[in-house]
Amino acid sequence: MSVTLYDTVGPRGRRRIAVGSAIGILVIAALLGVAATRLASRGAFGAEQWRVLTQADVQRLIGRGLLATLRAAGIAMAFSIVLGALLAVGRLSRRAWVSKPVGAWVQLFRGLPLLLMILFAFLVLPQLGIPVSSLWALVLALTVYNSAVIGEIFRAGILSLPRGQTEAAYAIGLRRGQTLRIVLIPQAVRRMLPALISQLVTLLKDTSLGFVIGYAELLRVGRGAVEFLGGRYSIPIYTAIAVVYIAVNATLSYTARWLDRFTRRRYGRAVQHPLADEAA
């Protein structure tokens, strides 16, 4: 789209773009340079500090943290998708005594900070006599929050289908449940895959909140390593952890983009992420 904002440029425009590029590179290089000299003058690029990442202990620790992150994310993803599908069907129900409470539930839990839900699960459940480990408190809160969002994604996917699909299904004598199951859901699933995956990326990022309740995921493990080794190792270790997160999430995001292109060609445009909750 951005190509339509300006013409194919002539010689004068090309010169102007070249000047703009040069200035742009200079400004960005200057910013990076200031940051780099500042870091370097505090010894942030010392080989000795970065060598900590080659230690087998540190690598094993980060690996364990990644596994714990993936475990929490995997369990929460499975539960959220199942519960989200139920919430979507409930909210689409024609019985008001089903759709109204489900709608209220979804709005309520979308509007609360995830961290508050994690604290709630971790502090309140034991008081009610339900023993809960930090893993399950985290999984529970992630599931309650993300199932509400994923339910909305499913609902948007189903509502995005042309009305003719429902009408045609009714016309050939299908009941409402059959219409949903046989006609609408299979088509909607393909349309909502990209939005669903970007929400799963969000869920994976949010497992990092587990460090607040002492769940030994990637970030908590990194913090532990820095506290043990000393603050001067914070830059290499936190950078390594950020890189691990970015690698895992970028892989998921690229899958989403690839699926989007693939499904758009075959099944029509994907639905937008309905809530832009991606930022959450």
Partner 1 sequence: MDAILDNLDLYRQGFLTTLTLAALSAVLALLLGTLLAAMRVSPVLPLRAAGTAYVEIVRNTPLTVVFFFSVFVLPQIDITLSFFVFAVIALTVYHAAFFCEAVRSGINSVAAGQAEAARSIGLTFGQSLRLVILPQAFRTVIPPIINVVIALIKNTSIAAAFGVLEETGVGEQVANANSDQVIPVLLGVALCYLVITLPAGWLAGALERRVAFSA
The binding site for partner 1 (CB under 8 A) comprises 1-2, 4-7, 9, 17, 20-21, 24-25, 28, 38-39, 42, 44, 107-108, 110-116, 119-120, 123-124, 127, 201, 205-209, 211-212, 219, 222-223, 226, 231-232, 234-235, 238, 241-242, 245-246, 249-250, 253, 275-280
- CB neighbourhood size of 176 (10 A): 14
Picking from 161, 142, 1, the residue whose alpha carbon sits closest to that of residue 79 is 142
3-class secondary structure per residue, 10-60: CHHHHHHHHHHHHHHHHHHHHHHHHHHHHHHHCCCCCHHHHHHHHCHHHHH
Q: How far is the CB of 79 from partner 1 (least distance, A)?
A: 20
Which of 80, 208 has the CB closer to partner 1? 208
Closest distance to partner 1 from the beta carbon of 219 (Å): 6
Are 126 and 132 a contacting pair, CB within 8 Å? yes
Give the residue with the Cβ less far from partner 1, 144 or 180: 144
* Cβ distance to partner 1 smaller for residue 133 or 251: 251
Shortest distance, position 175 Cβ to partner 1, whole Å: 30
CB of 277 to partner 1, least distance (A): 6
Cβ atoms 215, 72 nearer than 8 A:
yes
3-state secondary structure of 76: helix
- Other CB atoms closer than 10 Å to residue 205's CB: what's the count? 16
Nearest Cα to 84, choosing from 139, 140, 145, 137?
145
Cβ at position 124, least distance to partner 1 in Å: 5
Nearer to partner 1 by Cβ, of 123 and 182: the residue is 123
